[in-house]
Structure 1
């Protein structure tokens, strides 16, 4: 009497979620876990198969909301690595007191950290924004760089989270002092966390910034060296600061121009010929116009 048999109701879940769950199941098994997905797909519970196995006899709940959002932004060929890293990270941090996916826990601990772009192994595996082509401002929680799938758990866009983190950083005042760099007077601003460059947004909280902006050097993530662009003497300041930055071997060996909320590279190459050190400067067009006006 097969006509009384009800047809099995097809899955209403998107095929992408089904495929991602298949990958999650495969990776969980490879790690030695039994697994059970929540009915809404928002999490998967992992259980070890024996007391001394992964996770022991306890259960580990892994949130998947952020992972699903990140997978939706990535090509399918990236999914195996994405899933493997997500579960491996969840297992490695299972005993941590901080749940980064919990926005109430994460919000007061959000900060930024500025690093050289070349020092970040994979920019797709962090949450951040470029200060310029050389430097990137990364989002951290509790001192640890946030992964995209963790930020995907929050009810806000990544840009909003970075703004919130920057606001938290602003409350951590810098220490300001005047120093000399090869005879050039500069202001050194020192932070207690590796986010000194984030404070450029509020530079006029610490010194008088002329309309033409300021020269900036970043010896390390905790320090800013600042010189106002207030006269043709700025040309000599570029030379002194560039040589100083190259010697520190820190966050960046370059000199930058902070103006109207932008950090622009002042390209300056140190050339040594016959024992003489020369600086060849190729300023960006807007800064070249400032120099021409100051020279009059």
Structure 2
């Protein structure tokens, strides 16, 4: 069987960036309880009071659907033992520009979508093989929640990143397990079809972040659950958004969460400030965004990805580490670094 993820389409608008609002790409800040308020222990981007209200709304939404649930810190469970995670919904609410006044609507919509999806026959049983293949897309996912026992076919993309296949449906995304893929045919063909479908998606939004010292990098963002996965077709993304081709030196890339892909085409000494800025950008986006993937920056060249930044062992700061190959690129472009 597959793994279901409610898509919440139409609930995450792509906003235009105002002049001087580069910070808005790093983190949205709706007016809510201040950071000095006690924090929720499971979702620290919510205050303790907001966390309590959030869980109360979840319980009420399930009750409206005729289902009594037990609410825990990060999941709810019903009497049949089914468990429903709260992390994506909590971060979705956290990022909504309208603040907490929209929370009841969002929670009801999310819970209704989850229960409706579970009650319907599996798309794997109702769609033809041809329809399934036409709705296949690759998903780049991080380590959190990734179960190698269910996704043995997953392709390693980079340290901490995996590529799996997903079935795109009107109200949900179904991540396909080994058992789900088996009847669909050759895995290589399925992946080629998924990549073809990915290339056919429109780019919904494109922003350029500029800062001091010549810092510049681009961000592709959108509603699609496959926005970050476009790193798998980076060359065409760069061409479509900037009109330029990548050089053999490749690009810096970051996929903090499923709705963002950041990149800096490596051409000159601006690679150094771009790396520093993108490291902060990726860590911030990963921390409190729905569908978190990775807090790291990677060096992409010809489809290969090498990790350059990561959180330190204490999880409180950032560290940047380069190998000899990337060091040689820096020395050629920047000088003795």
Q: For residues 251-282 of structure 1, give each alpha carbon's deviation from its aligned partner in whole angstroms, at most 9, with x where no partner exists.
A: 2111111111112111355699xxxx986432
In structure 2, what is the equivalent of residue 195 of structure 1?
A: 226
Higher relative contact order (CA closer than 8 Å, sequence separation 6+)? 2
Q: For residues 234-260 of structure 1, give each alpha carbon's deviation from its aligned partner in whole angstroms, at most 9, with x where no partner exists.
A: 112111111122222142111111111
Q: Compute the TM-score of the two structures, normalised by the length of structure 1.
A: 0.59
Q: For residues 213-239 of structure 1, give each alpha carbon's deviation from its aligned partner in whole angstroms, at most 9, with x where no partner exists.
A: 111111211211111212222112111
Describe the SS at the equivalent of 1:131: strand
Residue-pair matches, total:
199
- Say if 2:236 is the partner of 1:205: no
In structure 2, what is the equivalent of residue 11 of structure 1?
A: none
Q: How many angstroms apart in 2 are the aligned matches of 1:221 and 1:193?
A: 8
In structure 1, what is the equivalent of residue 272 of structure 2?
A: 235
Task: Give the 5 Å matches for 1:8-19.
Answer: none
Q: How many angstroms apart in 1 are the aligned matches of 2:141 and 2:313?
A: 26
Alpha-carbon shift at residue 119 of structure 1 (Å): 2.5
Larger radius of gyration: 1
Give the ranges of 4+ consecutive aligned residues of structure 1 lying more than 4 Å apart after TM superposition.
Answer: 268-272, 277-280
Residue 181 of structure 1 contacts residue 240 of structure 1 at CA under 8 Å; is this kept in 2? no
Q: Which ranges of structure 1 fall in alignment gaps of 5 or more residues?
A: 1-91
Q: How many angstroms apart in 1 are the aligned matches of 2:122 and 2:320?
A: 50
In structure 2, what is the equivalent of residue 287 of structure 1?
A: 326
Q: How many angstroms apart in 1 are the aligned matches of 2:302 and 2:260?
A: 21
Q: Compute the TM-score of the two structures, normalised by the length of structure 2.
A: 0.53
In structure 1, what is the equivalent of residue 54 of structure 2?
A: none
Q: Which ranges of structure 2 fall in alignment gaps of 5 or more residues?
A: 1-117
In structure 1, what is the equivalent of residue 207 of structure 2?
A: 178
- The match for 1:124 among 149, 157, 160 is 149
Describe the SS at the equivalent of 1:118: coil
Describe the SS at the equivalent of 1:152: helix
Relative to structure 1, the CA distance from residue 253 to residue 96 in structure 2 (aligned partners, 3 Å threshold; closer, same or farther) is closer
Q: For residues 60-114 of structure 1, give each alpha carbon's deviation from its aligned partner in whole angstroms, at most 9, with x where no partner exists.
A: xxxxxxxxxxxxxxxxxxxxxxxxxxxxxxxx77734552784223111111222
- Say if 2:178 is the partner of 1:159: no
Q: For residues 198-224 of structure 1, give each alpha carbon's deviation from its aligned partner in whole angstroms, at most 9, with x where no partner exists.
A: 323233432322331111111211211
Task: Give the 5 Å matches for 1:68-79.
Answer: none
Superposed CA RMSD: 2.8
In structure 2, what is the equivalent of residue 214 of structure 1?
A: 251
Relative to structure 1, the CA distance from residue 178 to residue 192 in structure 2 (aligned partners, 3 Å threshold; closer, same or farther) is closer
In structure 2, what is the equivalent of residue 267 of structure 1?
A: 309
Alpha-carbon shift at residue 130 of structure 1 (Å): 1.7
The structure in which a higher percent of residues are strand is 1
- The match for 1:150 among 149, 165, 180 is 180
